[in-house]
Amino acid sequence: MTESDPNRSLRADESEKQTPVETSVNALQVDEGAFMNLTSAIQSIHLKVWVTMANSGTLRMESIALSDERALVHAAGRLFSQGAAEEATKHIRQAQTGFDRKKAEWERRVRQSEDDSARRRAMRELQQKKGYHSPITSRITPAENQFRRLVEALDIHLTLERKRELAAKQQSLQSASPVSTERETLALPGGFLEAFSTAVASQHATIVKQFFDVEAELTVDVATVEPKQVTVTFQPPLPKNRLYYFVDADLVIRLRRVKISSDVFYHDVVTQQNNKMSLQSVIESVQRGGVWLLEPKPDPIIRA
């Protein structure tokens, strides 16, 4: 592997300014080699500082370890290969922050050491220190560039990945069986309330299926699009004025309205009371026990 290889997986023509995302993606492609090359670049850097011993006047070497940052980059490469690009990006950013902090610490200590020699007019000692420190500086800059390119490429990769996911969801919604969202408030089938109210809880799901067809079982997708922003997508998208059965809560409701950011307002058909529940509770009910969108049967079969 030649020394030009670390940049091969993140190639960019810096002589041209490319503003469209599509063009930049062609220039910055992420692959597993980028993580391996950055790991190797960090491993080749030894942040050593040579300081003067006060008593003897001899030089002593002090080190600042980069093992944590190297381990983070290695772990990021493994996560990326497993498809966890977002977690890989977090690892790389954490490694970059640690690298920058330790580089600044190294530069501060180098200046102190060299200034000490200059102040004592120990010019031969100063030149010796510079001879030790300069090669380290030459290794730091390429690693910084690799960090920058990899972070940029991962950001573009995540942006495109989210666009693809959104397009796939939209296509899925368009191809899904349509569910009527605008309709008159549905009346309960005759005999349902009596049968449901007098039965034990373990029989309620069976009774619901006797009086209703399950038009759809709700699904939900919760996705983080930004560090503090989450999107929630129900399928079907919670049509109003419809009847639902919450399996885990053993609750039959008519949906009144949804406040997307927090609450779902409903009418409990058994208690005849209006109430509300948090959007998070609905999500958990869908994920845990299931929520059925109900369609009254025209002629329910009632079993004794």
pTM (2 decimals)? 0.49
Contact status, residue 186 vs residue 243, Cβ threshold 8 Å = yes
Closest to 261 measured CA to CA, from 229, 226, 285: 229
* Cα–Cα distance, 246 to 264 (Å, whole number): 13
The Cα 222–Cα 287 span in angstroms is 11
Give me the residue spans of the domains in the chain: 5-171, 177-296
pLDDT higher than 50, residue 21: no
The residues near 264 (Cβ < 8 Å, ≥ 6 apart) are: 238, 255, 257, 258, 276, 277, 278, 279, 281, 282
Distance CA 242, CA 294 (A): 7
Residues 6+ apart with CB under 8 A from 133: 49, 50, 110, 114
pLDDT tens readout for residues 50-102: 999 988 889 999 999 999 999 999 999 999 888 888 999 999 999 999 999 99
User: Is pLDDT at 25 greater than 90 in this prediction?
Assistant: no
Would you state the pLDDT for residue 175?
Answer: 54
Q: What is the CA radius of gyration of the chain?
A: 32
Number of Cβ atoms within 10 Å of the Cβ of 213 = 13
Q: What is the pLDDT of residues 165-223, one digit of tens each?
A: 787 777 656 655 455 444 445 678 888 898 998 999 989 999 999 999 999 999 888 87
Q: What single-letter DSSP state applies at residue 268?
A: E
pLDDT tens-place string over residues 220-260 = 888 776 666 677 888 888 888 889 999 989 999 998 887 66
